[in-house]
Structure 1
């Protein structure tokens, strides 16, 4: 009972191996060594000694492993041989802690894994100690099977976690670049059912040197979008959309043309129901410290504009969603941001979130506008954090949640600009 509980308490490979060595040294032998599967002809080991606290760790090469009777076979997954068949006198000195003395009895058994061995367990008892009888050997094999299963499960979990980290790396929000005269901040939160990733996305695309050489007027693009659905499938499609936009930017810089090309790409996709809504905007520097956004809105909630005096303006155009019709008509809107003004892109997971005191009230655009108005004068990062907190607080305990995304673009306030010829932060 104790062994099973402790072995199943962790999904860390090293911790499972440590627990195996500790339990074996405490209950089965005077010395217990767990030898892990070799990598590049070297194998790690952990050694526990009865009556001593802590474990020793190290590495051996395969030649050293072959010095221990039965160890090479155990690491290869062959069935264990009885202890009485092993010559304990052949036990190499490196297997034992200092001052251990002569070995009287040796037992080596594989740690069965998920199709491949999870390592091997080497047990040694001092000369004069009781031998490993048949009952003890059966107990050791049962313990080794449980330990091997625990180590194997931990290895599988860590491999899957590493694979997931690689696969989801490109699906997570990107770090936002710095643009001259503009400050940006974003927040992305997948639904509770989806985990870390979902169908909402935002990104910023900078034209490369070749594009700027061929077309000097190319501008950075900002986007926020929403893929139909939730979870991994929607996240994968969102990643494909982001990569498609990056590729299209090599060929085209006008937002209205890019969304049209993206629509054609989605229609050609074999994915079922690849519907996407998005806002795509080109960022232009304008006179007087202003920033001009030329937006193409494709079926997405239109951005809100927070002016310096706390007034919030709502853009009403929405345009056609992507991936449904061959011919689309995006809404084309130009937004002029004076220094300090903010353009807020958001997904419908914000406004259509149900929560509040009853748990059944929609957050709504009116409430978002009112909350945004309270953020006048805030740094753009604080503005996004506050809106995310208010949205999360509105949802509270609600289980029905959608993905939520926010992206704020602010023209740098006048007081934060540095006059020409002077240093300091912008």
Structure 2
């Protein structure tokens, strides 16, 4: 190979600088697009404590399919909580994430039942060319009662949320249901639970339980123990502690995005 075919040190440095700048621009675009898939702010419902957290993977170079949303519906003080995960990353996953979040927002005012909401989302996804991608989602409708709230929960292929009682008791809520976006005939069920003063519900994506330290997963047992120890803390404190523990466990091996949504009924 002749000398003219080799890059000079200056040319190599210029190419590396251009590549670094290009990667930085790409990462910035990914972060901007990711923010557009999450609510800019969450509502501040009177008498309730609410927190949503999103943490990108260590790689952080692409858009994930994790999302959450909370919004008011109906004539009263009802809320809809939604959290989900679209298979894959990149522009295609971002498009499906946008479809999922905005479909839930669009249909929820007219469909009281979380099952109906998720069936409509499944129909919408099947109406788009999504290349066999699928979505897991949990939707809960929050209705106020005298000393707390009533939650009607439906999980579509998603991890069951945990209810953290004021005394530290942990319960899972939501009956397992079908993945969305693959088949027209799906199985979805609802479960109702009440949160009294001091109780909290915490939903999260599999970036929590599937975080790894070598061959070991963070797992549901650790998640449950951390949440039980968080009884009495605020929604923000609980979500923050759970995220910190996952990141401490996985370290630089945390390769999946994490979304956490917590709703608590304050003790007074």
Q: How high is the TM-score relative to the length of structure 2?
A: 0.85
Matched-pair contact (CA < 8 Å) for 1:223–1:279: yes
Q: What's 1:186 paired with?
A: 52
Cα distance, 1:296–1:365 mapped onto 2, change above 3 Å: same
Matched-pair contact (CA < 8 Å) for 2:58–2:252: no
Matched-pair contact (CA < 8 Å) for 1:318–1:331: yes
Which runs of 5 or more structure 2 residues have no equivalent in the other structure?
1-9
- Aligned to 1:336, which of 194, 206, 224? 194
- Aligned to 1:375, which of 220, 230, 238? 230
Cα distance, 1:251–1:190 mapped onto 2, change above 3 Å: same
Q: How high is the TM-score relative to the length of structure 1?
A: 0.55
- Aligned to 2:217, which of 357, 362, 367? 362
Which runs of 5 or more structure 1 residues have no equivalent in the other structure?
12-149, 415-426
Matched-pair contact (CA < 8 Å) for 1:295–1:334: yes
Pair 1:405 & 2:263 matched:
no
Counterpart mapping for 1:111-150 below 5 A: none
- Aligned to 1:268, which of 127, 131, 136? 127
Give a deviation string over 1:194-240, Cα, whole Å, max 9, x none.
43631111001223xxxx4xxx3582201110111134432332122
Q: What's 1:318 paired with?
A: 176
Matched-pair contact (CA < 8 Å) for 1:197–1:231: yes
Cα distance, 1:310–1:165 mapped onto 2, change above 3 Å: closer
Q: What's 1:349 paired with?
A: 207
2: CA distance, partners of 1:385 / 1:164: 23
Relative contact order (C-alpha < 8 Å, sep 6+): which is higher? 2
Cα distance, 1:392–1:291 mapped onto 2, change above 3 Å: same
Matched-pair contact (CA < 8 Å) for 1:350–1:363: yes
Pair 1:197 & 2:63 matched:
yes
Give a deviation string over 1:146-183, Cα, whole Å, max 9, x none.
xxxx8xx97x8998788666644412453211112211
Whose Rg is larger? 1
- Aligned to 2:105, which of 224, 243, 246? 246
Aligned residues: 257
Q: What's 2:4 paired with?
A: none
Counterpart mapping for 1:204-215 below 5 A: 204-207=70-73, 212=74
SS in 2 for 1:206: strand
Structure 1 residue 286, shift from structure 2 partner: 0.5
Cα distance, 1:231–1:413 mapped onto 2, change above 3 Å: farther
1: CA distance, partners of 2:24 / 2:176: 44
2: CA distance, partners of 1:229 / 1:247: 24
Q: What's 1:300 paired with?
A: 158
Q: What's 1:229 paired with?
A: 88
Pair 1:387 & 2:245 matched:
no
